[in-house]
């Protein structure tokens, strides 16, 4: 119908300078982030729990849906029943997210490559790890301070 003028991604077909296009892209990006973030985070936990069950049970659709529904309900209950749940999650996130995203990859790279790493690679890895340690320290301090101030 539109021929060769249509691009493969729908968002690339929107007029680039129109405000409506920018609003649509913002809504699409935020909506997909909100929908996918929880599912991507909880999927490894759900799969691990499925592995604990017998195969004849874990391979059924009802088990798939029931297990994930129970995880969502458990998360909601924790959020409602624990008054400082958000602060605890901020503490865990600031510490563990930077550990997994910045510190460990840089240190593992140095450990794996060893003496074959160039001086630039060593320097950048140390800088990345240092930034990660500083970020984790500041985030953890900030989260602990908010927890202390709240109680």
User: For the chain, what are the domain ranges?
Assistant: 1-81, 83-151
Please return the burial class of 44, using the count of CB atoms within 10 Å of its CB with bins 0-12, 13-18 and 19+.
exposed
pLDDT the model gives residue 60: 95
Q: How far apart are CA 101 and CA 96, in angstroms?
A: 8
pLDDT band at 2 (very low <50, low <70, confident <90, very high): low
Quick check: 1 pLDDT over 60? no
Taking only the tens place, the pLDDT of each residue in 59-104 is: 999 999 999 999 999 988 988 888 888 888 888 888 888 999 999 9
Q: How far apart are CA 79 and CA 83, in angstroms?
A: 7
pLDDT the model gives residue 138: 95
Q: How far apart are CA 109 and CA 106, in angstroms?
A: 5
pLDDT the model gives residue 4: 72
DSSP class of residue 114? Answer: G
Taking only the tens place, the pLDDT of each residue in 24-41 is: 888 887 787 777 778 888
Instruction: Tell me the Cα Rg of the chain.
Output: 22
């Amino acid at each position: 119908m539109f021929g060769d003028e249509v691009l493969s991604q729908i968002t690339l077909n929107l007029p680039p300078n129109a405000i409506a296009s920018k609003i649509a892209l913002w809504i699409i990006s935020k909506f997909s982030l909100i929908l996918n973030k929880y599912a991507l985070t909880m999927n490894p936990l759900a799969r691990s729990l499925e592995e604990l069950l017998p195969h004849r049970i874990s391979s059924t659709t009802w088990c798939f849906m029931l297990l994930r529904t129970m995880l969502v309900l458990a998360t909601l209950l924790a959020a409602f029943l624990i008054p400082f749940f958000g602060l605890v999650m901020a503490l865990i996130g600031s510490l563990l997210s930077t550990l997994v995203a910045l510190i460990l990859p840089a240190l593992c790279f140095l450990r794996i490559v060893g003496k074959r790493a160039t001086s630039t690679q060593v320097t950048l890895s140390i800088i990345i790890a240092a930034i990660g340690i500083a970020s984790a320290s500041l985030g953890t301090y900030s989260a602990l301070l908010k927890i202390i101030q709240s109680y």
